[in-house]
């Protein structure tokens, strides 16, 4: 059977956080658009990332608060998480989002959703050729939004065990008796606390000297301490070098990065959370002369153009911050470049959070980054135990750290480690976007009693130079 050949203005490969909204926006503006997705609409965030992880983290918090009930004068007896029911709740929430996305495409002919795995297949004159099964698409421009998958580290024997990853954790319906998590980044930390609160023993192995390696040491230590208090064990400066099945589970050999000393840990399950590998290795990029970096990302300019004119890269594969909100903002950048005045670029303030409890809300530079950059730095720190609302709701753990440029009085960055930190950080985000001095927040009125008062209290401890 001959291949079907269809022509488009723009083809988007990957229906992730940027690709899906971009396809609709470009089509609405009159471009003929195809969106190709190999698995499920919504990508990693909806199907196994943000959505289900935050859903199970919410269940875990209910269990945690039920265990703490007596602190509030309430008697709750026999807190018993039902692990399967917790996963089932998360899966239902995922299904709702997936269904909503699927239905949004059922009546649409432009953008046309094509299900299948896409590869670039060289040029057709000035245009690009893309293959999906037996279909060939010819187009003027291509947007790549193919996301990432778990980066599997070279651990001896790993192929021989049924390890868990960010992609597969929802399918493992048996609560591990002892979960060993390899990787102490965002995924490792969030999932460690989830499984621990479900009742599993949890050990986290991190190759660096601290958890959350991009954060200031005091912030990273506070996260580790909070998780240790709940019984999670950490092995830092350590690497899992070998795994082997034994009668009662899995024997993991852990090598100390500094001393080369070897320890053996028995676990029932292993979760690999050692970073993400871009899905760029089977995209036919070589057929159009597009090279990846060593890490597999695509170098882009601030307008998200790759080195091949007409090819754009958005979301996690373009290097830099890997978040749903940055991927979604990439959609707005490409939209601005293709349909608007081109003013929107990657020159942006990027906040993020680690959804442990307490949460970490972050924006801008860390103190160490700011000092390394030679800025004239002033740092304020405010302990949450001094905030009235925090005491009233029993959430006194944590602190706020604000890094200010003492020449301009503008924020360079902030870390909020507290209850609701992922919400609170946005106050600093707005201040940074407005390029306003911290005194604007200092002089504002905040509602009492709120955690937001702590965000103000932190800057109020700064003194203008
Ligand atoms: C466990 C976990 C928790 C997370 N939690 C958060 C969080 O709380 N907050 C946050 O901001 N971020 C979170 N993230 C990160 C967030 O999920 C990603 O940054 C975001 O989804 C990236 O979107 P994307 O556009 O790069 O691609 P993705 O959402 O990964 O989508 C890429 C899509 O491309 C498809 N695809 C790949 N190759 C092809 C091909 N050749 N042909 C056709 N289709 C293809 C894939 O099937 C996929 O659907 C989390 C990630 C994980 C793994
Ligand atoms: N709340 C959120 O926004 C959220 C949540 C989860 C994931 N994410 C996104 O997904 C990305 C990936 O998360 P992640 O946690 O997998 O990656 P990560 O890069 O954040 O952390 C991986 C950690 O694993 C360690 N490591 C690597 N190889 C190792 C080994 N062999 N043994 C022991 N430790 C090893 C690294 O030193 C690093 O600290 C994040 O960067 C983030 O962008 C975001």
pLDDT at 191: 99
pLDDT at 248: 86
Question: 188 CA to middle of ligand 1, Å?
Answer: 17
Is 185 annotated in some ligand binding site? yes
How far apart (Å, rounded) are the C-alpha atoms in residues 283 and 359?
37
pLDDT, tens digit, 9 for 90 and up, residues 328-379: 999 999 999 999 999 999 999 999 999 999 999 999 999 999 999 999 999 9
Model confidence at 465, in pLDDT bands (50, 70, 90)?
low
Rounded to an integer, what distance in angstroms lies between the CA atom of residue 45 and that of residue 97?
Answer: 11
Ligand 1 atom at minimal distance to the Cα of residue 191: 1
For 124-155, how does the pLDDT look when each residue is reduced to its tens digit (9 = 90+)? 999 999 999 999 999 999 999 999 999 999 99
The full set of domain ranges for the chain reads: 4-149+277-339, 158-274, 358-460
Ligand at minimal distance from the CA of 283 is 1
pLDDT at 3: 78
Any atom of ligand 1 within 6 Å of the Cβ of 319: no
Contact predicate 114/13, CB 8 Å: no
For 242-286, give the secondary structure using H, E and C: EEEEECCEEEEEEEECCCCCEEEEEECEEEECCCEEECCCCCCHH
The stretch 261-277 carries a mean pLDDT of 97
Tell me if 4-149+277-339 shares its fold with 358-460: no
**Tell me, what's the ipTM?**
0.98
Q: Is 284 annotated as a binding residue?
A: no
Flag whether 255 is marked binding.
no
Question: Domain 158-274: which topology?
Answer: FAD/NAD(P)-binding domain (3.50.50)
**Nearest C-alpha to atom 27 of ligand 1 is from which residue?**
147
**389-445 pLDDT per residue, tens:** 999 999 999 999 999 999 999 999 999 999 999 999 999 999 999 999 999 999 999
Q: How far is the CA of 8 from the centre of ligand 2 (A)?
A: 37
Q: Are 422 and 353 in contact (CB under 8 A)?
A: yes
pLDDT in tens, 1-30: 557 999 999 999 999 999 999 999 999 999
Distance between CA 145 and CA 313 in Å, rounded?
A: 6
Asked: is 4-149+277-339 a CATH 3.30.70.80 domain? The reply is no
Give the model's pLDDT for residue 463: 75
Q: Is the CB of 114 under 6 A from ligand 1?
A: no
CATH 1.25.40.10 at 358-460, yes or no: no
Q: What is the pLDDT of residues 25-55, one digit of tens each?
A: 999 999 999 999 999 999 999 999 999 999 9
Buried b (16+ CB within 10 A) or exposed e, 258-292: eeeeeeebebbbbbbbbbbbbbbeebebebbebeb
pLDDT in the model for residue 1: 56
Which residues, other chains included, contact 440 with Cβ-Cβ below 8 Å and sequence gap of 6+? 431, 434
Distance of CA 25 from the midpoint of ligand 2 (Å): 32
Q: Which residues are catalytic?
A: 448
- Residues 6 or more apart in contact with residue 427 via CB below 8 angstroms: 441, 452, 455
Average pLDDT value over all residues in the chain: 97
């Amino acid at each position: 059977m001959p291949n079907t050949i269809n022509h488009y203005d723009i083809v988007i490969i990957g229906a992730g956080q940027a690709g899906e909204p971009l396809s609709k926006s470009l089509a609405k503006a009159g471009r003929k658009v195809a969106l190709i997705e190999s698995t499920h609409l919504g990508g990693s965030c909806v199907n196994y990332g943000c959505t289900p992880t935050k859903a199970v983290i919410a269940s875990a918090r209910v269990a945690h608060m039920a265990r703490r009930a007596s602190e509030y004068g309430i008697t709750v007896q026999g807190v018993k998480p039902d692990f399967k029911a917790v996963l089932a709740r998360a899966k239902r929430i995922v299904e709702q989002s997936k269904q909503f996305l699927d239905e949004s495409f059922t009546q649409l002919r432009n953008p046309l959703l094509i299900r299948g795995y896409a590869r670039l297949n060289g040029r057709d004159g000035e245009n690009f050729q893309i293959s999906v099964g037996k279909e060939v698409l010819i187009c003027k421009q291509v947007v790549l939004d193919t996301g990432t998958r778990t980066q599997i580290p070279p651990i001896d024997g790993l192929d021989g065990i049924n390890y868990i990853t960010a992609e597969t954790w929802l399918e493992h319906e048996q609560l591990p008796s002892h979960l060993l998590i390899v990787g102490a980044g965002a995924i490792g930390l969030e999932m460690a606390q989830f499984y621990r609160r479900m009742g599993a023993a949890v050990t986290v192995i991190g190759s660096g000297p601290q958890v959350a390696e991009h954060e200031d040491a005091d912030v990273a230590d506070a996260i580790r301490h909070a998780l240790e208090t709940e019984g999670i064990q950490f092995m830092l400066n350590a690497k899992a070098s070998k795994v082997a099945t034994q009668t009662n589970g899995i024997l993991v050999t852990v090598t100390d990065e500094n001393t080369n000393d070897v320890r053996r840990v028995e676990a029932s399950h292993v979760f690999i959370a050692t970073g993400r590998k871009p899905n760029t290795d089977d995209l036919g990029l070589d057929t159009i002369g597009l090279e990846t970096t060593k890490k597999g990302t695509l170098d882009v300019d601030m307008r998200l153009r790759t080195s091949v004119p007409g090819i754009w890269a958005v979301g996690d594969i373009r290097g830099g911050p890997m978040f749903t909100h940055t991927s979604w903002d990439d959609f707005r950048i490409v939209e601005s470049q293709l349909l608007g005045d081109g003013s929107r670029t990657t020159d942006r303030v990027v906040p993020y959070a680690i959804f442990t409890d307490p949460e970490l809300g972050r924006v801008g530079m860390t103190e160490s980054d700011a000092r390394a950059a030679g800025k004239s730095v002033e740092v304020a720190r405010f302990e949450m135990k001094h905030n009235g609302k925090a005491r009233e709701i029993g959430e006194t753990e944590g602190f706020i750290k604000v890094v200010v440029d003492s020449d301009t009085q503008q924020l360079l960055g902030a870390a909020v480690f507290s209850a609701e930190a992922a919400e609170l950080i946005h106050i600093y985000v707005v201040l940074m976007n407005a390029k306003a001095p911290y005194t604007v927040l200092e002089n504002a009125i905040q509602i009492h009693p709120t955690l937001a008062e702590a965000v103000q209290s932190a800057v109020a401890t700064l003194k203008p130079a």
